[in-house]
RNA sequence: GUGGCCAUCGUUCAAUGGUUAGGACCGCGGUUUGUGGAGCCGCAGAUGAGGGUUCAAUUCCCUCUGGCCACCCCA
């Protein structure tokens, strides 16, 4: 053993997970392309201050989970690895003057993110998100479009029973009154609340709704629901979304416990969950409307909405359900040879096969031909091409256990191609 | 960041305060020398790291590292 191992929370993806992960990422880009969302690739690091502003300096994500980079030389600004993608998205929107494009600006990315968190299954220090944002539209249409896009992505991967757990967190007009109402509801049992919950009661009462403490959970059941206390504008927005999702055919579950801690979040908040395995790994993804963020980062007031779906969790869910796509096996053709001197010729032949669109690899060993055949079988190859001492080639069909006569290169390669492609 | 469980070949299991830590799978080689996954034979490969207790530790204790679970939070 080498003595080195991957650092905590940072893992290697081996097959078949590596292929599955890549597949889920490819499908994410494809889903974005198909919906007319522009691809954007963002840097892995940004100014720390961007995250402190966008995510909130007191949030866990910034206060204890940020991977801060050691400053070097005369760097003017402190940098950090990105813990989420939205901040960079909005930064890019502002930096590149996208407000002069038709609104909303539709952007999508697949981002590798970093959080200095305590790892668990489905939670790693480096993870990947499919991130979609529609910036510049305040109507319920952009909510519907974005929510449906995420749900369709998950459904198309095979997670056909995704549920959208939906809530509204109101706006600056209606939320303060509701928070006060909520505070009053919990104040009556304050002495029985746990210490964390009591501090939440003072600092962020909405969080009481998703507390895990039994006392708070019990009391939350009878708590007022924000969706019953929205202002007229928020209420009609929320109603339009609920109705629209029904039309679109998305399974919706009302989820009054979905809350967001920061002021710039407004109205729609949702999570993508799978029934049956809710809990431990949390949601597959989540999204929300953040009408206050662009302005917070220095732009003019601009409404926006987006979601992030955790690719790692998606792959985990697919794996647990046996829905991972069969990953590509070995090459269709293995080029073997009788004599060690033929190794270069074997490789040249494999190259030619690939150029002809047939996956192939050469057996580069000096093993006996029997061992080479055995290796080809184990690799799942369809056929073997044997390089004869005279340089001619013999095609052997491994499925039929039949073998042709030695022939010239072009003819054998063409035959191999027919064999492989004919099989489909 | 808090609490808890865990750690033996690449994988999966076994064993013990005391000779060379055992099996299976995988890998490699052989099976008489140019044709297939079996069988048979053989080879390689581990006590995560560092301390401590002890005549003796893989086994008991501590620290570290890593994994998992719950919390926190989130994807």
User: For A116-154, how does the pLDDT look when each residue is reduced to its tens digit (9 = 90+)?
Assistant: 999 988 899 999 999 999 999 999 999 999 999 999 999
In terms of CATH, what superfamily is A17-174+230-320? Bira Bifunctional Protein; Domain 2 (3.30.930.10)
Nearest residue by alpha-carbon distance to C1' of B69: A120
Q: What is the pLDDT of residue A131?
A: 97
- In this predicted structure, what is the pLDDT of residue A322? 83
**Nucleotides in chain B near protein beta carbons (<7 Å):** 1-3, 10, 27-31, 33-37, 46-49, 65-75
What ranges do the domains of chain A cover? 17-174+230-320, 333-423
Q: Which is more confident, A350 or A70?
A: A350
List of long-range contacts for A50-53, beta carbons under 8 Å, 24+ apart = A50/A87, A50/A88, A50/A91, A50/A297, A51/A80, A51/A82, A51/A83, A51/A84, A51/A87, A53/A87, A53/A296, A53/A297
The phi-psi region of residue A267 (left if phi > 0; otherwise alpha if psi is between -120 and 50; otherwise beta) is left
**Mean pLDDT value across residues A174-190:** 87
Average pLDDT of chain A? Answer: 90
Using C1' positions and the CA of A271, the closest nucleotide is: B75
CA of A368 to C1' of B39 (A): 20
Instruction: Tell me: pLDDT of A56 over 80.
Output: yes
* pLDDT average, residue stretch A73-94: 91
Report CA(A386)–C1'(B35) in Å, whole number. 10
Assess contact for A230 and A240: CB atoms under 8 A: no
* A276-A278-A284 Cα angle (round to 5): 115
Choice between A191 and A254, residue whose per-residue pLDDT is larger: A254
pLDDT attached to residue A212: 79
Answer whether residue A48 shows pLDDT above 90: yes
Protein A97 CA to nucleic acid B25 C1', in Å?
A: 60
A257, A216 contact by CB (below 8 A): no
For residue A389, give the nucleotide whose C1' atom is nearest its CA: B34
Nucleotide nearest A131, from its CA to each C1': B75
Nucleotide nearest A367, from its CA to each C1': B29
Question: pLDDT tens digit string along A189-207?
Answer: 888 887 788 888 887 888 8
Cα–Cα dist A356/A414, whole Å: 8
pLDDT at residue A278 in the model: 46
Between the CA of A390 and the C1' of B65, what is the distance in angstroms?
Answer: 58
Is pLDDT larger for residue A59 or for residue A288? A288
3-state secondary structure A370-384: HHHHHHHHHCCCCEE
Class of domain A333-423: alpha beta
Q: Given a cut of 70, is residue A265 above it in pLDDT?
A: yes
Q: How far does the CA of A8 sit from the C1' of B7, in Å? A: 15
Beta bridge mates, A273: A163
Q: Which of A158-167, A188-197, A262-271 has the highest mean pLDDT?
A: A158-167
DSSP labels, A69-128: PPP-TT-SS-EEE-S-SHHHHHHHHHHTTGGGSSSSEEEEEEEEEE-----BTTB-SEEE
Q: Determine the Cα–Cα distance for residues A170 and A256; give it in Å rounded to an integer.
A: 12
ipTM > 0.90, yes or no: no
Give residue A1's pLDDT: 42
- Say whether pLDDT at A173 is over 70: yes
Our measurement of CA A120 to C1' B56, in angstroms, reads: 39
CA A152 to C1' B58, in angstroms, rounded, equals 53
Longest dimension (CA), chain A: 93
Q: What is the DSSP string of A247-263?
A: HHT--EEE-TT----ST
* Residues linked to residue A361 through DSSP beta bridges, in sequence order: A334
Question: What would the pLDDT profile of A298-319 be if each residue is shown by its tens digit?
Answer: 999 999 999 999 999 999 999 8
DSSP-assigned states of every residue in A297-325: TTS----EEEEEEEHHHHHHHHHHTT-PP
> pLDDT: is A42 or A64 the higher one?
A42
Task: Kindly report the number of other CB atoms within 10 A of residue A33's CB atom.
Answer: 12
């Amino acid at each position: 053993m080498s003595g080195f191992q991957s650092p905590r929370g940072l893992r290697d993806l081996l097959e078949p997970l590596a292929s599955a992960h890549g597949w889920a990422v490819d499908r994410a880009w494809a889903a974005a392309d198909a919906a007319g969302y522009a691809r954007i690739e963002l840097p892995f690091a940004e100014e720390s201050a961007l995250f402190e502003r966008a995510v909130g300096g007191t949030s866990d994500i910034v206060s204890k989970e940020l991977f801060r980079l050691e400053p070097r030389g005369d760097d003017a600004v402190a940098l950090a690895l990105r813990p989420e993608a939205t901040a960079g998205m909005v930064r890019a929107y502002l930096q590149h003057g996208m407000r002069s494009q038709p609104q909303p600006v539709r952007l999508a990315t697949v981002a590798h993110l970093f959080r200095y968190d305590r790892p668990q299954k489905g939670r790693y220090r480096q993870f990947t998100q499919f991130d979609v944002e529609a910036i510049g539209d305040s109507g319920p249409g952009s909510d519907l479009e974005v929510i449906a896009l995420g749900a369709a992505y998950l459904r198309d991967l095979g997670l056909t029973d995704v549920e959208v757990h939906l809530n509204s967190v109101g706006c600056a007009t209606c939320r303060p009154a509701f928070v006060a109402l909520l505070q009053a509801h919990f104040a009556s049992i304050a002495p029985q609340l746990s210490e964390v919950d009591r501090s939440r009661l003072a600092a962020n009462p909405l969080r009481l709704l998703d507390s895990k403490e039994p006392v708070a959970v019990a009391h939350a059941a009878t708590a007022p629901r924000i969706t019953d206390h929205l202002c007229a504008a928020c209420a009609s927005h929320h109603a339009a979304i609920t109705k629209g999702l029904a039309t679109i055919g998305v399974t919706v579950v009302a989820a009054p416990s979905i809350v967001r801690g920061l002021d710039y979040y407004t109205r729609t908040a949702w999570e993508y969950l799978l029934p049956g395995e809710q809990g431990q790994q949390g949601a597959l993804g989540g999204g929300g409307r953040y009408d206050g963020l662009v302005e917070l980062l220095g732009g003019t007031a601009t409404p926006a909405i987006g979601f992030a779906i955790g690719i790692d969790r998606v792959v985990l869910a697919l794996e647990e359900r046996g829905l991972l796509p069969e990953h590509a096996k070995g090459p269709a053709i293995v080029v073997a040879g009788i004599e060690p001197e033929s190794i270069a010729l074997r490789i040249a032949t494999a190259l030619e096969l690939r150029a002809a669109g047939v996956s192939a690899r050469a057996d580069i060993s000096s093993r006996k031909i029997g061992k080479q055949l055995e290796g080809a079988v184990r690799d799942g190859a369809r056929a073997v091409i044997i390089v004869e001492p005279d340089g001619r080639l013999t095609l052997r069909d491994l499925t039929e256990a039949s073998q042709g006569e030695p022939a010239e290169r072009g003819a054998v390669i063409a035959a191999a191609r027919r064999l492989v492609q004919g099989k489909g």
